Amino acid sequence: MENLKVVQFDFGFECKPISAKEKVVKPTKKDKSDFVFDFMDCLASPIIVFKSAWQDTIPKDILGRIKLSRIICSMTGDKMASLTETLAYMMPRTYEAPMQTEWVNIYTWLGLQYAMQTKSKDQLEAMIEIAPKELSDYEKRLLKNLRLWIYDKRRKALKGILKKNKVSKDDGILDIQEKLF
């Protein structure tokens, strides 16, 4: 019944024949599992940060907003890390050694975007003074590559976690679910 062929009789009216409706694509099992994995990725993936002695200095308000920013980024269809997540990744790197001008611009621009999202007046006033209003094309490419790299590492880490945790034979639920909730 999905592929109906329609025959239209000619009654002398001048109108174009009505074409058959296009086939409705039903979601496959893979699409459903991708949705579940994407949702788990937003909520359960580890936060990827620059390996440094300073990685514990990331403020808790930034870490607390990462899951929500991942969900928003996923809803928009972006297959890359959120801006908040990228800011959290770069923060420990800024304490290690001076960075190139491009990366300083990217970091301060990310800080400005975060301040605009949180609507913090004090942070926003400070960031407006030092952050560039817009990134150059080269800096945008660097930021995009970093966001894609973080996204890839995050998903690989989640796949590794899921492989370690076996499905329970009793109820078919992953052992990791007890730790998540």
List CB contacts of 18: < 8 A, sequence separation 6 or more: 6, 8
Of residues 167, 172, 158, the one with CA closest to residue 42: 158
User: Highest-confidence range of 16-20, 43-47, 79-83, by mean pLDDT?
Assistant: 79-83
Give me the helix-helix angle, 137-164 and 101-118, nearest 10°: 70
Q: What is the mean pLDDT of the chain?
A: 81
In the predicted structure, residue 33 carries a pLDDT above the cut 80? no
Give the C-alpha separation, 181 to 174, whole Å.
12
Which of the four pLDDT bands, split at 50, 70 and 90, describes residue 36?
Answer: confident
Mean pLDDT on 7-21: 60
Q: Give the closest residue to 180 by CA, choosing from 36, 44, 68, 42.
A: 44
- Per residue in 157-170, pLDDT (tens digit) is 998 888 887 655 55
| pTM (2 d.p.) | 0.71
User: Mean pLDDT highest for which of 75-79, 122-126, 147-151, 175-179?
Assistant: 147-151
- The least confident of 43-47, 48-52, 121-125, 141-145 is 121-125
